[in-house]
A and B are shown apart, each in its own frame.
Chain A
Amino acid sequence: MSTLALLARNRLALAGLIVMGLVVVLALLTPVLPLPDPDVTNTGNRFVKPFSEGALLGTDHLGRDQLSRLMWGTRLSLAVGFAAAAIAAVLGAAVGIVAGYYGGRVDNLIMRGVDMLMAFPYILLALAIVAALGPGLLNALIAVAAVNIPFFARNIRGITVGIANKEFVDAARLAGMNDARIILGEVLPNVIPVIVIAMSTTVGWMILETAGLSFLGLGSQPPQADLGSMLGEARAALITSPHTSIVPGAMILVIVMAINLLGDGVRDALDPRLRSGALTRPMAATLVRREGPVPEPVGDDVLSLRDLQTQFHVKQRVYRAVGGVSLGVKPGECLGIIGESGSGKSVTALSVMGLVASPPGVITGGAVHYKGEDLVGAPYGRLRDLRGREVAYIFQDPLATLHPLYKVGDQLVEAIRVHHAISNKEARAKALSLLRDVRIPNPESRLDSFPHELSGGMRQRVGIAMALANDPEVIIADEPTTALDVTVQAQILSLLDTLRREKGLAIVFITHDFGVVAQLCDRVAVMYAGRIVEEGPTRALLEAPAHPYTSRLIACVPELGGGKRALHAIPGLPPAVDDLPPGCAFAPRCDKAQPACREGEIALETHGARKLRCLFPETELEGRA
């Protein structure tokens, strides 16, 4: 959506825009409007009430026309306000970019100077500047701009530090660009939205600050009118002729209100985080809008997914992230789900406990049975009761799942006490034994560590300990070792394997790595474009993959010990799940595809222990059911 359309959607911002536009147009037209000279005094005609003949808004203490003075004054105040904002933005941004880009000592010196400026109350600082330069509108402008430079400098420096460390800046250096070119060509374009946002929210203050200085007699000098000096001159007659104060006061109120509303709107429209809807608070459980019949539980699986469908509704588009997935896992069994990014494997896992963010996620069909109980559409209280206690998750990045400000031990204690009414001391003892279970060295001292004090492998052990905290029946592990080094990965995998054998845990293990699946999982399901294309016992499936996608995917992955060689690539890209082709989603990339593959639904058929969704498999499977 365009920025303007986003802005217009915000009613208040639109109102601000319209009012501001009107004021600016009037201010621009002032010289050509048939107004009396604002500075001609007529003391015989002073303090005329508003709506009198020849003076719509009355006259002031010297008999000058209020309307004319208001228009000229607004013109001047706006000009000074915008000029001050522009000067402060340009200088502040320049200071901020230089400090942020060069960093180190340059940054330190500049930012300490800026801190010193900020240590003075702004009005005192402005007064000091005006006192040094002498009163006058231009000096007031300089003072207001100078006072606001630190605000811009700090804001822009923070953004620049982030950008200067981005890889594209390094790439520009390697392309032969010097610092000046990088600052202007690479950094500045990425900073401009922030400058605009900061400006839009500060122009209002600047107008107020200029008016304040003029009010004190330090800004515009008589007879020149600006909104602040009009207020200042009217002060003596505040009680007897209030209209002389009300007229400029109301104008200041209108302008600042309009600018602030507009500024907020501009910020919301430009800020990428607000734009993507990231700040909309997700619901506590995924929205469920099931159409059609709800499948009944079958079999003795502890957790079973039946024809689960999860979609993302983003504006007009529907992304079928999970397009009818059926899976089951028995106690003590490890089921692997393998697939590339976007194949829907994580969304499947998150749907189980209603953890897919809504909006935009919606579960539109199917059922998730935990010990026969349907979790899709279960009340939030019930889900909350089961989350962590019966079905626990281990996520990919333990640094992101542990709270950075709490000690590891406290987080474990919290996880235990959510589900068990036991004392803090007992919970702590349990936390200690959990850390021992996951083989963390020196568990006593580790209880009091913060997450950042632990290495990646140790953090993931804490993540596993937290998942085990309430002795769950099922653990869903979403790429738990992807972010870890191979030696650490080997330790974590063997830990998970031991735990499942000792405690009879059912594990759903999501990964993209065949090696990991082969070592840990009893059964494996291969996902492509939101559906399972093949499922079966790990060894049989890896030795004789039946779906062309599985076999091509296995061939893509180099295996250790083979020496230098060419790899088999799959041409093309996985399809977008908002625009799936009819028939087999893999057909466009498959060298065995026939016209029949591109028509109609292809079912996932059972062949003994294996299941397959393909018309022309690599190997014929026996025992077709």
Chain B
Amino acid sequence: MSLALRLENLSKTFAVGKRLFGAPKGHVHAVHPVSLEVAQGETLGIVGESGCGKSTLARMLVGLLEPSGGHIEIEGQPLDNADPAVFGKRIQYVFQDPISSLNPRKTIRQIMEAPLKRLHGMGRAEREKRISEIFAQVNLREEFLERYPHEFSGGQAQRIGIARALAAEARILILDEPVSALDVSVQAQVLNLLADLKARLGLTYLFISHDLAVVEAVSDRVAVLYFGSVVEVGRAEEVFAAPRHPYTKLLAESAPVVGRALSAPEGRETELPDPLDPPKGCAFRARCPNAGARCAEEVPRLEGESGQVACFHPLR
């Protein structure tokens, strides 16, 4: 099995309180060094709560943000400079808000033609043919091509967003919360379309979401992010069913499930650590029931064979 995507110690630091001259006031480590591998044809789910760095990670992977450190390798070739045009042919992005990711003043045809023209230098007739092909794949009617984005519902607009990503002919798609702006009945349509496209075109997905159940349903493996670090990686059916990291367990128990009594798994009211003043040691230890002396001293590393966990006292 060959690798589609390999991240090695990819990290991102933002300067806070920038001044015109002189050093900034502080730094926020949005993504701590992350190493992940995604196999060809695999779906890797990434879950985490707001502020955990999942969108920053995604934007680095497509070149919209320059990494502060580390390497990105796509299908064996390194891509470290942040030039989206270089990334565009190899890895594409589907945005969370389908409507605002389409320019309101362009027709769908103009939007669809941009990647064909700029990335592949196709002529007019060729573009026409390719657009019909893609539209057939995502179940969109060609009469939509002359319309403007505001004329579409969220589900249709998200199909157009997926069609645009397919037009670049990248074989890896980063799906950043692709269904969280959609209603549940439409959400399933889009998820099934994505699964269908993946099977037919041999795509590799990185599926980012805050919805545990959705991630579990579409992913082969799941990575759990907390405070900019991957705390657990494992097979989708195991990560939430039998979590090893206390944070994953907390997430799984917090998700409302039909037929389970209401309980606040955390007795105390807790908040995320201050990113400007990160705690020493494990970032989760203040919320963790198993935290020991070592957790306050050292940052646990992601370790393990089949499933990896970054914890000194894993649950299993």
Contact = CB atoms under 8 A, between A and B. Distances in A.
A428 to B, nearest CB: 22
Interface in B190-249: 191-192, 195, 210, 212-214, 216-220, 236-237, 240-241
A46 to B, nearest CB: 58
A495 to B, nearest CB: 8
Contact of B254 (A171, A487, A566): A487
A113 interface: no
B2 interface: no
A564 B187 contact: no
A541 to B, nearest CB: 11
A560 B88 contact: no
Nearest to A560: B213
Max count, chain B CB within 10 A of own CB: residue among A175, A341, A455, A457: A175
A170 B262 contact: no
Contact of A167 (B100, B118, B212): B100
Contacts of A175: 88, 114-115, 118-119, 164, 167-168
A174 to B, nearest CB: 5
B13 interface: no
A491 B269 CA distance: 7
Nearest to A561: B241
Q: Which 5 A-B pairs have the closest CB atoms?
A: A515-B256, A176-B118, A563-B237, A569-B188, A485-B49
Interface in B53-92: 59, 62-64, 84-85, 87-89, 92
Interface in B268-293: 269, 271-272
Interface size class of B (residues with CB under 8 A): 35 or more
B299 interface: no
Interface stretch (A55-63, A198-206, A409-417, A550-558): A550-558
Contacts of B220: 564
Interface in A103-125: 105, 108
Interface stretch (B28-36, B102-110, B126-134): B102-110
A190 B256 contact: no
A228 B139 CA distance: 65
A512 B216 contact: no
B187 A490 contact: no
A518 interface: yes
Contacts of B187: 556
A566 B195 contact: yes
B217 A565 contact: yes
A560 B216 contact: yes
B95 A556 contact: no
B240 A561 contact: yes
Contact of B271 (A341, A457, A519): A457
B185 A564 contact: no
Interface stretch (A263-271, A292-300, A396-404, A570-578): A570-578
B184 to A, nearest CB: 5
B195 A563 contact: no
B185 A569 contact: yes
Nearest to B93: A174
Interface size range of chain A in the complex: 35 or more
30 contacts: A105-B20, A108-B20, A166-B100, A167-B100, A170-B93, A171-B101, A171-B161, A173-B88, A174-B84, A174-B88, A175-B88, A175-B118, A175-B167, A176-B88, A178-B85, A439-B269, A486-B254, A486-B256, A487-B265, A491-B264, A493-B262, A515-B257, A519-B262, A557-B213, A558-B214, A558-B216, A569-B188, A570-B188, A570-B189, A573-B186
Interface in A86-132: 105, 108
A467 to B, nearest CB: 18
B258 A567 contact: no
A569 B210 contact: no
Given A176-B88, A558-B214, A560-B255, A171 B185 contact: no
Contacts of A406: none
B185 A553 contact: yes
A537 B103 CA distance: 46
A515 B188 contact: no
Contacts of B296: none
A556 B168 CA distance: 30
A174 B92 contact: yes
Given A168-B102, A487-B254, A567 B217 contact: yes
B259 interface: yes
Given A186-B103, A564-B217, A564-B220, 5 more contacts: A175-B118, A486-B255, A491-B269, A561-B216, A564-B218
Contact of B256 (A186, A440, A518): A518
Contacts of B62: 174
A126 to B, nearest CB: 30
